Amino acid sequence: MKQSGRSSFMETVRTVIYAVLIALVIRSFLFEPFNIPSGSMRPTLEVGDYLFVSKFSYGYSRYSMPLGLDLFEGRVLESVPERGDVAVFRKPNEPNTDYIKRIVGLPGDRIQVTDGVLIVNGTPVPRERIDDYVETLPNGGVRRIEQYRETLPNGVTYTTFNLVGGSKADNTGVYEVPPGHYFAMGDNRDDSIDSRFPPEIGGVGFIPAENLIGRADLIFFSSDGSAGLFEPWKWFGAIRYERLLHVIR
């Protein structure tokens, strides 16, 4: 009996170890979950969205490794992001901080924003006004937000917010993306700290390829935050069912 009990215990330990190892491999090399803490990518991503990020989309770097293990320099099995990808990366001047933005500029591109219009290599990106986004405020009021549908040179389309007309970020100089770097912006153009702002003032600047973690592919869960941890009777009402298993574009 003692031997049988000990064998059962060891089998349980082995099962737990295998499960942890499998989870670690999946998280390190296949898919890693992330959550959205800010509104900089609205309306594409909302606060309270939980995502699966594919780690294999761009290859692997030290920022892809668990605990930030510095096993190698550069990237292994590198693949180039496409314009329009929603990418997770480490902020260049804060290597412990994860950011998520949309890639709009590739190495060698010239990027500019004029009167809120994104310009890639001298050509304005087509921008179509669509129906306003209507949201209910906590006080019961209603706010209408201008929305635009943009189409990048490779045909990728997505929706952006315009919160404030004539903001500083609506007019920029020309950014020339260096080799091995990328330029990214939030879809919520007036509420995003991104590549338009240099690291010296708390911005992102150009993103080194090494800092890329992966591509955001799927929203697997979403909550509007109206239910607390100790309010189980509110949990189901807080779920945004329409966003579950939503493919990110």
Give 175-224 pLDDT, tens digit per residue.
999 999 999 999 999 999 999 999 999 999 999 999 999 999 999 999 99
pLDDT digits (tens, 9 = 90+) for 68-114: 666 667 777 778 999 999 999 999 989 889 999 999 999 999 999 99
**For position 112, what pLDDT does the model report?**
98
pLDDT class of 168 with cuts at 50, 70, 90: confident
Rounded to the nearest integer, the mean pLDDT of the chain is: 90
pTM for the full predicted model: 0.86
The catalytically annotated residue of 55, 61, 91, 101 is 101
pLDDT class of 18 with cuts at 50, 70, 90: confident
**Looking at residue 126, what DSSP letter applies?**
P
DSSP string, 49-88: EEEEEETTSS-B-GGGSGGG----SS-BS--PPPTT-EEE
CA distance 142 to 217: 31
Q: Would the pLDDT of 1 be above 50?
A: no
Radius of gyration of the chain (CA): 21
The catalytically annotated residue of 40, 192, 195, 222 is 40
- For residue 114, give the nearest of 195, 169, 161, 171 by alpha carbon: 171
Q: Would the pLDDT of 242 be above 60?
A: yes
pLDDT digits (tens, 9 = 90+) for 212-241: 999 999 999 999 988 888 898 999 999 999
CA distance 65 to 62: 5
Q: Does residue 101 have an active-site annotation?
A: yes
Q: What single letter denotes the amino acid at residue 248?
A: I
Q: Would the pLDDT of 66 be above 80?
A: no
Contacts of 56 (CB under 8 A, 6+ apart): 29, 30, 77, 214
For the stretch 143-170, what's the b/e string if a residue is b when 16 or more beta carbons lie within 10 angstroms of its beta carbon? eeebbbebebeeebebbbbbeeeeeebb
35's tokens: 């959550």
Percent of the chain whose pLDDT exceeds 70 = 92
Q: Give yes or no for a contact between 196 and 203, defined as CB atoms under 8 angstroms apart.
A: yes
CATH fold for domain 2-247: Umud Fragment, subunit A (2.10.109)
Q: Does residue 40 have an active-site annotation?
A: yes
